[in-house]
Amino acid sequence: MTVKAMDQLVNLEAYPIADRASPARQALVEEMGRIYARDGVCLMPGFLTDAAVNMMAAEAENASVDAYHCDETHNAYLEQDDTSLPADHPRRQRQLTRLDVVGCDQLIPNSALWSLYGWDPLRDFIGAVLGYEDFHRFADPIGAMTINVMNEGDGHGWHYDEAMFTVSVMLQAPDAGGQFEFVRGLRDSGDDNYDRLGKVLAGTAKDTTTIPITPGALLLFGGRNLLHRVTGVEGSRTRYITTLCYRDRPGVTNSPAVRELFYGRREPLTPVAAH
């Protein structure tokens, strides 16, 4: 897409990411990179224009009719239950996740959502913030870009992502709840800090952080090492958020287990164009 067309979707005045050579972009990359390195989370409010938010929320709503209903329990590591550990071990505690998920194989190719995800300057900007020269859109034919749809009572239990980092863009906020909540400094290199993890899972930890994600905001977070969840959605207004995935290597896809858990299928419904 041309910069002029992308100007309709991305707030390029506040986030001048179109021109790789511009000093304003470089300054933004450095500022966001500093925040991400410090917090493992970086929020960019008003990243999308209001018109884009409206368009993409409508696309999300249309596609949600065919969404997969995920209603599963899992541990915080999204791994198989390890029965060699005691039953009360934090690694064995089950978390409930209930939401509807739309895979990118269910989105029409010329949608605003695909235009955003397929725009190279966005990929390059995210890569630059994370410190990657060579950066790629995720190759998973279902999970490269997804829409999470949450209605009243839905939520996403505490977990670490399979992916090192994730980009989420809020398209429509619920009346209440549906908050993104995370725990800083829990999983440091080689230490799972099970005592503290147990408190978080039991709901007795006092040191969790909630970040307010308004419609149009882009959130970059390092989900592999940052325990996070989405609290229960309240009210009749549906929460729509899109997740844009990238990797530092080409050709990477989700594991079959994660595809089964979140999309209910291991193969895409229809072949999607290479991107």
Q: What is the contact surface with Fe ion in residues (CB under 5 A)?
A: 161, 223
Least distance between Fe ion and beta carbon 238 (Å) = 19
Residue 109 vs 185, nearer CB to Fe ion:
185
Nearer to Fe ion, 64 or 166 (CB): 166
The Cβ-side half-sphere exposure at 233, using a 13 Å CA radius, reads: 24
Minimum CB distance to Fe ion smaller for 62 or for 225: 225
Query: Which residue, 15 or 263, is less far from Fe ion as judged by CB?
Result: 263
Q: How far is the CB of 11 from Fe ion (least distance, A)?
A: 25
Identify the bridge partners of residue 42 per DSSP, sorted by sequence position: 220
Assess contact for 73 and 97: CB atoms under 8 A: yes
Q: Give Cα separations from 164 to 15, 138, 143, 223 (angstroms).
A: 24, 12, 14, 6
Looking at the Cβ atoms of 116 and 258, the one nearer to Fe ion is 258
CB nearer Fe ion, residue 6 or residue 42 = 42
Q: Between residues 64 and 148, which has the closer beta carbon with respect to Fe ion?
A: 148
Structure tokens at 247: 């990797």
Complex with Fe ion: residue 48 or 163, whichever CB lies closer: 163
Considering only CA atoms, which of 55, 58, 42 is closest in space to residue 9? Answer: 55
Q: What is the DSSP string of 201-260?
A: HHT--S-EEEE---TT-EEEE-TTTSEEEEPPEESSSPEEEEEE-EESSTT----HHHHH
Over its C-alpha atoms, the chain yields an Rg (Å, rounded) of 18
Q: How far is the CB of 255 from Fe ion (least distance, A)?
A: 14
Question: CB-based contacts of 249: which residues, under 8 Å, 6+ apart?
Answer: 136
* Minimum gap (Å) between residue 228 Cβ and Fe ion: 6
State in angstroms the smallest separation of the CB of 223 from Fe ion: 5
The residue length of the chain stands at 275
d(CA 143, CA 262): 9
Q: Which residue is nearest to Fe ion (CB)?
A: 161
Q: How far is the CB of 229 from Fe ion (least distance, A)?
A: 8
Least spacing, CB of residue 8 vs Fe ion, in Å: 29
Q: How far is the CB of 222 from Fe ion (least distance, A)?
A: 11
Report the greatest alpha carbon distance in the chain. Answer: 58
Other residues' Cβ atoms within 10 Å of the Cβ of residue 12: 19
DSSP 137-172: E---TTTSEEEEEE-TT-BEEEE--SSS-EEEEEEE
